[in-house]
Structure 1
Amino acid sequence: MRHESLSSMYIQATEIAELPGFYVRIIPTASSLFDLSKLNLSTRNNIRAYTKDGINQPTPRYNNSILEDMFLEENAEYTGSTFANWKTLQEALVLLKVWARQRTSIYSHDCLNGYLISAILVFLTMDSGGSIINRSMTTRQIFRVAINFFATSKMWLKGLVIQPMKKRTISKEGIAHLLKTFDVAISDVSGHVNLAFRMTKSAFSELQDEAACTLNCLDKCRDGGFEELFMTKVDFGAKFDSCLRINLKGNSKVTALSFSSDDESWRILEKDVQSLLQQGLTDRTKMIRVLWRSTPSEWNIMDGFSEFGSSPLIVGVMLSLLEKSYRLVDIGPNPENRDEAIKFRKFWGEKAELRRFKDGAIAESTVWETETWERHTIIKRIADYVLTKHLLLRQEDLTHVVDQLDFCLLVGGQDPVSSSGALLEAFDTLAKQLRLLDDVPLKISTVQPLDSAFRHTSVFPPEPHPLAYEKSSQRLPNFAATCVRSLEVMIQLEGSGNWPLDPVAMEKTKSAFLLRIGESLEDRGMFVTASEDEINVLTSGYSFLLKIFHERGLVVQKQAGDSNIQSAPSKDKELFYRSQHSSMINGLHGIYQVYGPVVRLAKRWISAHLFSSFISEEAVELVVAYLFLRPFPFHAPSSRVTGFLRFLRLLSSFDWTFSPMIVDINNDFNLKDEKEINENFMLSRRSYEQNPYDIEPAMFLATSYDKSSEAWTKQSPSKSVLKRIASYAKSSAELLTNLIIHGQSGQYTWECLFRTPLSNYDAVILLHKEKLCRPHHVLFPAEIPNGKLVIQGKPSNDFHPYMPLSKSVVRSLHDTRDKLLVNFDPTAYFLRDLKCAFPVTFKLWHDSIGGDAIGLTWESSKKRGRDEDDEAMPDPTSILKEVGDVGKGLVRSVHLLKAPKLE
């Protein structure tokens, strides 16, 4: 069916066995079956049951559907004659159909189809369409003209008429009536049929938005956007910032609707939902799209139309600026405007209240009070309230995909990002004190934070520690964390010509400055510990790790004739990279506020699947930055769930082997820069033909400060690891897409996205959760895998993640502070020791954020450096026993799943 209960049918034949996937559709027509006067769109009623107060109502949609069948052959013949012998127009039509089909929500019952696209192209070739398309144009030009017409043309406001100007049979009044009756008007060659009578206002708005996005892609993509426009699926879940599923089965609003009306009953309800949400969400959204499931091809007519009510209604919401979307108060009419105030109160009910604002104005309003970290749920709260109030829905009938992934970012039911304000204040206080130091030979000119917590991308930014304050005026809790994560801060000194040129002497000079700075801070009441390369400062509840960067460290090598920064001393080089990276990511977060939450989800996913050892957090930040800077064929995401889905898809589908990922955050790359990056990339792929697996970096990330991908991915991930990451990302993306559209089902839940299958490893090491430095960050305690238990260990009493702070225990605050373990992580030290003991025996996979399992995969014999004649590898059981011995006190058990292969 054409997704209509009162229209003619498409009779679909059985699939032809010789041509799988090929179907034949028989479309009935009725060329001269009815009197045209009985099908007048303005006055005639052809559905007797459709009345109002006993008076028959016009049925323009039903009448138009019959007229469509009557003039189908005439329109098809006229369209065919236009396309005949016009190859470029035919090719452009194919491109437009592919483009539309890839955008599932515009290639639908209420928007475009292939027939309508061909009719619009015919219009653009005619004088009535301004002859915008002519035979001198190429296929690409015709495609662009058509897309531009969809996006910007004012002709839509006047209606399109597919008739030559001199042979026009439809009057201006007739066109005006079509525009009044229908949302979009395209009068056919006969002048009797509106070909776009099914197109809704929301669908047309989406079509214009998609076309505008396509034009932007054509202009900005280097290859004309072929991959983005024609090869990438723009599906509902990835396109919209928020998806809402409404279960209407058995709802009284649905059962009360009649199938004997001019419009389909389910289409009427679509419009009601659309209207309610637009009225409730106002300018918080750029677009709201409501779609009911179309008729399935296997639907049996004998089942009746009531089956439509059993499928959920899907709503896509695209957010406007987050300042609007996340605001707490909606201001309504002034109470003096009585009629509008009554309407406002009737719509909002108990949520409406009269408020006086700071400027003295008094107005009706609604308030959506919430914690700062929960503001992304305001849209959900408004939509749920409006729909339950006006459609008599239960809360369980609504599933709004907004905060389903928040569970993996929370600690104790709260997002630790809520304490970021205190962290920034603590840093500002420290920075001011550093700049004011007057007893250091050179003044401190720059203080820059480098930790991801300062750029809003840390999964768990540190919270204030009770022992990290200068004074003990704070009331101490009963317990506090034993381990404190230090936040790295880079400082620069004012210029001086007395710095030594020798790299070793330069590092010694830095150490001397650090010691002097530490002494000065200690004199000012801070708690300082120093080492040769850095000093650690406890102040305002946080731990800061200070390091000195001097540009001379980068210049020394240039003076020796090498202009490549990669040859500079490693410490200065690393600080330079991190400084540049932090500045750029901070700037990006200022533009895209949802960037931070998306990165946090991405990092949590990377860690949850035990990839922490292989991909740095800076690399993850750059990949996420790419999907904001190059979002095509989408707009940049405005929600964390959508952004996370696109991250997974990007990770799994990007052509890492043959394409560099160019992350141009400041939009300052020119052709010379791009040429340099491509040359560096080709140089890195020179060995591909000899050994496809021996290329580095496998993940080539180019930025303005690192055009050779030296900073974050030079050594890792390897191609084999990257392939594994991409495979996991693809699986997770498919699951997430299904969860967004269809919801949880059986064992497939939102939590599954962050559960990793331990059966994919050759051996598994389980750790004592209570001996991890932050056991409260463990998402899911690891389950004991199927396999041979090799060793079982008892927990050590030497380390506890929490220390008691009761008065009877804390005699001296200074002595208690000495028990704080700064940057101590038992798992990290255990992994370090394993890599030293077994450098080529196996590969280790772990979760650096909060995991109590470590995966182990055996290295190949080539990697281990053995020839076939060498002695056999030691028994894997004995190796794993040694592993348990290395981690004694931390290791709970070791399990062998697969023995190493002998190659």
Structure 2
Amino acid sequence: MTKVDFGAKFDSCLRYVQLSKINLKGNSKVTALSFCLDDESWRVLEKDVQSLLQQGLTDRTKMIRVLWRSTPSEWNIMDGFSEFGSSPLIVGVMLSLLEKSYRLVDIGPNPENRDEAIKFRKFWGEKAELRRFKDGAIAESTVWETETWERHTIIKRIADYVLTKHLLLQQEDLTHVVDQLDFCLLVGGQDPVSSSGALLEAFDTLAKQLRLLDDVPLKISTVQPLDSAFRHTSVFPPEPHPLAYEKSSQRLPNFAATCVRSLEVMIQLEGSGNWPLDPVAMEKTKSAFLLRIGESLEDRGMFVTASEDEVNVLTSGYSFLLKIFHERGLVVQKQAGDSNIQSAPSEDKELFFRSQHSSMINGLHGIYQAYGPVVRLAKRWISAHLFSSFISEEAVELVVAYLFLRPFPFHAPSSRVTGFLRFLRLLSSFDWTFSPMIVDINNDFNLKDEKEINENFMLSRRSYEQNPHDIEPAMFLATSYDKSSEAWTKQSPSKLVLKRIASYAKSSAELLTNLIIHGQSGQYTWECLFRTPLSNYDAVILLHKEKLCRPHHVLFPAEIPNGKLVIQGKPSNDFHPCMPLSKSVVRSLHDTRDKLLVNFDPTAYFLRDLKCAFPMTFKLWHDSIGGDAIGLTWESSKKRGRDEDDEAMPDPTSILKEVGDVGKGLVRSVHLLKAPKLE
């Protein structure tokens, strides 16, 4: 018989270990039975627990499975009956529609129906209350007040309440796997998703203002948000900034963040035949339009920072980065700016990809409410293990979308923990070398489309026989807007990096499964899922946490690795993540706004400088969401293009000293763990 995969099949799992504390003596059906009968006592307990949970959760669930194994799976007959009943009670809960599962109020019988009302009050005890509803009806009810971002815990609260009340269990002995991973998504004890409503209102205000502009040569026809915060998949969506409001009457706190993340917004202008054909001239024309739009918005009271490269608009507490999309640019190609001259999509093609992707993911989130939280956990895991350089957030969103669209043999996940477990398993078990991952979000594909995708995939695998490690894209993600996987994974991750990601995912999936079924033990805790071993790198750069643009996003401060200390650095006095806003400091709101650093991230600029200074010397592994450690792995001599006759690679210690000099003021220390291999 196949063992039930509780962790992956059910949306939440409840575990109770101290079964000896359950009061079975009051149940004559239980005490009259022995372990040797077919209808054993633990089966009666299973039925009682299931009955209680079904009565308490009502239509919030599609299925409840209660399992109490009479003996541990490794039980030896020579141990006798002493081990009977020692295994934990496991409950698997499969949720119904989340509108039902996460509702705040359960409506009971009318008080005029005396018998039913008495039963209701007897079952719910102190939670039962008489309420008048908007339609004038009066009924018994239970209310589960909670913050919007905590509504996924309602099932846990109901189940815990029912079992502790009717089986006299202790709350601390119950473990309900629902919110154990929330710690990595919270800031100051709250989920920043709670401010998403204000963000959408701010965007609507900006979009309305843009469409009303009448002093721009061409009218603005379309305004579309592209940032992941608008599609509910950003790990930390930005919170309103006190200096990003139009009115100076806004009450200022004592401190505010120095750095503001700008959210990308795509603009389309009405049609015109006067656009230049030359790609450079087209980009210059776009810049001129953006500068004119910025001036117009500034005249309407918005704060604008503008240059030829970008225009940022600060309004309603947020910063928006404006981009213009033109269809003609889709056929224009530009060259990638590295030593390998490769064809890269034009900016318009990139905007097209992002526009299509954003629309599709928004639609998917409307169908599956658990999709957003699962993606956020997946992105946090990718970043925590320093893979941010190699896999884009759009690629992560598509992989998670695949497991929702093709959940077989399960149903689509309705909880973040289950979805995250399935993501890790999918990442580690999918046959990336010989199979394309086809993500058909809108059910658009026909046989012709699938044939085209498979042909593109086989074309990308032509070089496999000559060099199995030199295939691209290693992660082939096909969508309706990108059937050849050139949008998000064409250059990265490489096959070796993808193999490393899959290995980490497999290890994390095994740990998560064990945590769900058996709970924490010793050093294996929920936090371990997001701790990455720094010993797996050849060198490690530690950064001053207080010099990061968002130090509160750091999950675990990096520990000093074992290795040779190459260099230590002092923190710079030129940058601080917070600026004072007290009246004694702020004399002019405009001058204070000028000190805001829009889209500035010292870590990102440090990484860019390292890639320019050491293009083929090492790979950089970092956490783009909140990490104070950067991993380095030496590139092979073959990739550096050196043979035996070339001069030897410089001493790694001297290289790492130069690395420390590049990041002076930001770098806390640099550690050498392994010297480059000689080939």
- TM-score tier, shorter chain, comes to over 0.9
Cα displacement (A) at 1:531 = 2.2
Cα displacement (A) at 1:790 = 0.7
Cα displacement (A) at 1:253 = 11
- Paired with 2:501 and 2:271, the residues of 1 have a C-alpha distance of 45
Cα displacement (A) at 1:471 = 0.9
Deviations for 1:797-824, whole angstroms, at most 9, x for unmatched residues? 0000000000010000000000000010
Cα displacement (A) at 1:292 = 1.1
Cα displacement (A) at 1:874 = 1.2
- Paired with 2:149 and 2:2, the residues of 1 have a C-alpha distance of 33
Cα displacement (A) at 1:870 = 2.2
Cα displacement (A) at 1:509 = 1.7
Contact 2:71/2:83, CA 8 A, preserved across alignment = no
Q: Alignment identity in percent?
A: 98
Q: 1:253 to 1:763 in 2, by over 3 A?
A: farther
Partner residue, 1:865? 641
- Paired with 2:71 and 2:359, the residues of 1 have a C-alpha distance of 52
Match for 2:13 among 228, 231, 243? 243
- Paired with 1:256 and 1:757, the residues of 2 have a C-alpha distance of 54
SS in 2 for 1:419: helix
Q: Mapping of 1:364-403 within 5 angstroms?
A: 364-403=140-179
Q: 1:255 to 1:718 in 2, by over 3 A?
A: farther
SS in 1 for 2:358: helix
Larger RCO of the pair (alpha carbons < 8 Å, separation 6+): 2
Contact 1:594/1:638, CA 8 A, preserved across alignment = yes
Partner residue, 1:194? none
Q: Mapping of 1:458-537 within 5 angstroms?
A: 458-537=234-313
Deviations for 1:132-167, whole angstroms, at most 9, x for unmatched residues? xxxxxxxxxxxxxxxxxxxxxxxxxxxxxxxxxxxx
- Paired with 1:754 and 1:561, the residues of 2 have a C-alpha distance of 34
- Paired with 2:397 and 2:444, the residues of 1 have a C-alpha distance of 19
Q: Mapping of 1:358-757 within 5 angstroms?
A: 358-554=134-330, 570-757=346-533
Q: 1:413 to 1:595 in 2, by over 3 A?
A: same
Cα displacement (A) at 1:865 = 1.2
- Paired with 2:646 and 2:458, the residues of 1 have a C-alpha distance of 38
SS in 2 for 1:448: strand
- Paired with 1:826 and 1:560, the residues of 2 have a C-alpha distance of 23
Cα displacement (A) at 1:474 = 1.5
- Paired with 1:741 and 1:582, the residues of 2 have a C-alpha distance of 36
Cα displacement (A) at 1:254 = 7.8
Cα displacement (A) at 1:861 = 0.8
Contact 1:232/1:633, CA 8 A, preserved across alignment = no
Aligned residues: 673
- Paired with 1:573 and 1:433, the residues of 2 have a C-alpha distance of 26
- Paired with 2:337 and 2:566, the residues of 1 have a C-alpha distance of 56
Q: 1:703 to 1:247 in 2, by over 3 A?
A: farther
Q: Is it true that 1:252 corresponds to 2:28 in the alignment?
A: yes
Contact 1:448/1:579, CA 8 A, preserved across alignment = yes
Q: Is it true that 1:292 corresponds to 2:68 in the alignment?
A: yes
Cα displacement (A) at 1:235 = 1.2
SS in 1 for 2:432: coil
- Paired with 1:563 and 1:628, the residues of 2 have a C-alpha distance of 39
Deviations for 1:305-326, whole angstroms, at most 9, x for unmatched residues? 4633221100000000000000
Cα displacement (A) at 1:236 = 1.3
Q: 1:571 to 1:663 in 2, by over 3 A?
A: same
SS in 1 for 2:85: helix
Contact 2:70/2:85, CA 8 A, preserved across alignment = no
Q: 1:342 to 1:483 in 2, by over 3 A?
A: same
Deviations for 1:489-516, whole angstroms, at most 9, x for unmatched residues? 0000111222222222222221121111
Contact 2:401/2:439, CA 8 A, preserved across alignment = yes
SS in 2 for 1:899: coil
Cα displacement (A) at 1:890 = 0.4
- Paired with 1:500 and 1:244, the residues of 2 have a C-alpha distance of 64
Contact 1:698/1:719, CA 8 A, preserved across alignment = yes
- Paired with 1:756 and 1:568, the residues of 2 have a C-alpha distance of 33
- Paired with 1:511 and 1:809, the residues of 2 have a C-alpha distance of 36
SS in 1 for 2:44: helix
Q: 1:364 to 1:564 in 2, by over 3 A?
A: farther
Segments of 5+ residues of structure 1 without an aligned counterpart are 1-230
- Paired with 2:470 and 2:2, the residues of 1 have a C-alpha distance of 30
Deviations for 1:396-417, whole angstroms, at most 9, x for unmatched residues? 1110000000000000000000
- Paired with 2:664 and 2:339, the residues of 1 have a C-alpha distance of 48
Contact 2:452/2:483, CA 8 A, preserved across alignment = yes
Cα displacement (A) at 1:473 = 1.5
- Paired with 2:221 and 2:73, the residues of 1 have a C-alpha distance of 70
Q: 1:346 to 1:569 in 2, by over 3 A?
A: closer
Query: Which 10-residue stretch deviates more, 561-570 or 261-270?
Result: 561-570
Alpha-carbon RMSD across the aligned residues, in angstroms, is 3.2
Deviations for 1:3-53, whole angstroms, at most 9, x for unmatched residues? xxxxxxxxxxxxxxxxxxxxxxxxxxxxxxxxxxxxxxxxxxxxxxxxxxx
Segments of 5+ residues of structure 2 without an aligned counterpart are 16-21
Contact 2:403/2:423, CA 8 A, preserved across alignment = yes
- Paired with 2:350 and 2:115, the residues of 1 have a C-alpha distance of 65
SS in 1 for 2:342: helix
- Paired with 2:370 and 2:380, the residues of 1 have a C-alpha distance of 16
Cα displacement (A) at 1:646 = 0.3
Cα displacement (A) at 1:247 = 12
Q: 1:853 to 1:561 in 2, by over 3 A?
A: closer
Deviations for 1:668-702, whole angstroms, at most 9, x for unmatched residues? 10111111111110000000000011110000000
Deviations for 1:860-901, whole angstroms, at most 9, x for unmatched residues? 110111112322211111111111111110000011111110
Q: 1:713 to 1:239 in 2, by over 3 A?
A: same
- Paired with 1:254 and 1:849, the residues of 2 have a C-alpha distance of 53
Contact 1:787/1:896, CA 8 A, preserved across alignment = yes
- Paired with 1:876 and 1:323, the residues of 2 have a C-alpha distance of 58
- Paired with 2:539 and 2:491, the residues of 1 have a C-alpha distance of 24
Contact 2:71/2:87, CA 8 A, preserved across alignment = no
Cα displacement (A) at 1:528 = 0.8
- Paired with 1:410 and 1:714, the residues of 2 have a C-alpha distance of 33
SS in 1 for 2:520: coil
- Paired with 1:799 and 1:314, the residues of 2 have a C-alpha distance of 52
SS in 1 for 2:332: helix
- Paired with 1:863 and 1:247, the residues of 2 have a C-alpha distance of 68
Contact 1:554/1:568, CA 8 A, preserved across alignment = no
Contact 2:336/2:344, CA 8 A, preserved across alignment = no
Deviations for 1:187-244, whole angstroms, at most 9, x for unmatched residues? xxxxxxxxxxxxxxxxxxxxxxxxxxxxxxxxxxxxxxxxxxxx99861110100000
- Paired with 1:565 and 1:795, the residues of 2 have a C-alpha distance of 38
SS in 2 for 1:330: strand
- Paired with 1:396 and 1:833, the residues of 2 have a C-alpha distance of 51
Q: 1:875 to 1:522 in 2, by over 3 A?
A: same
Deviations for 1:611-641, whole angstroms, at most 9, x for unmatched residues? 0000000000000000001111111000000
SS in 2 for 1:305: coil
- Give TM-score, length-normalised by structure 1: 0.72
Contact 2:222/2:269, CA 8 A, preserved across alignment = yes
- Paired with 2:25 and 2:627, the residues of 1 have a C-alpha distance of 42
Cα displacement (A) at 1:556 = 6.6
- Paired with 2:143 and 2:110, the residues of 1 have a C-alpha distance of 16
Query: Which 10-residue stretch deviates more, 772-781 or 503-512?
Result: 503-512
- Paired with 1:498 and 1:704, the residues of 2 have a C-alpha distance of 31
- Paired with 2:216 and 2:285, the residues of 1 have a C-alpha distance of 13
Contact 1:610/1:847, CA 8 A, preserved across alignment = yes
Q: 1:828 to 1:288 in 2, by over 3 A?
A: same
Q: 1:588 to 1:560 in 2, by over 3 A?
A: closer
Contact 1:253/1:391, CA 8 A, preserved across alignment = no
- Paired with 2:210 and 2:98, the residues of 1 have a C-alpha distance of 36
Contact 1:843/1:858, CA 8 A, preserved across alignment = yes
SS in 2 for 1:327: coil
Q: 1:887 to 1:562 in 2, by over 3 A?
A: closer
Cα displacement (A) at 1:529 = 1.5
SS in 2 for 1:634: coil
Contact 2:223/2:267, CA 8 A, preserved across alignment = yes
Deviations for 1:258-306, whole angstroms, at most 9, x for unmatched residues? 5586620000000000000000000000000001125346535565546
Q: 1:260 to 1:688 in 2, by over 3 A?
A: closer
Q: 1:675 to 1:276 in 2, by over 3 A?
A: same
Contact 1:624/1:647, CA 8 A, preserved across alignment = yes
Cα displacement (A) at 1:383 = 0.1
Contact 1:248/1:311, CA 8 A, preserved across alignment = no
Cα displacement (A) at 1:563 = 27
Cα displacement (A) at 1:351 = 0.2
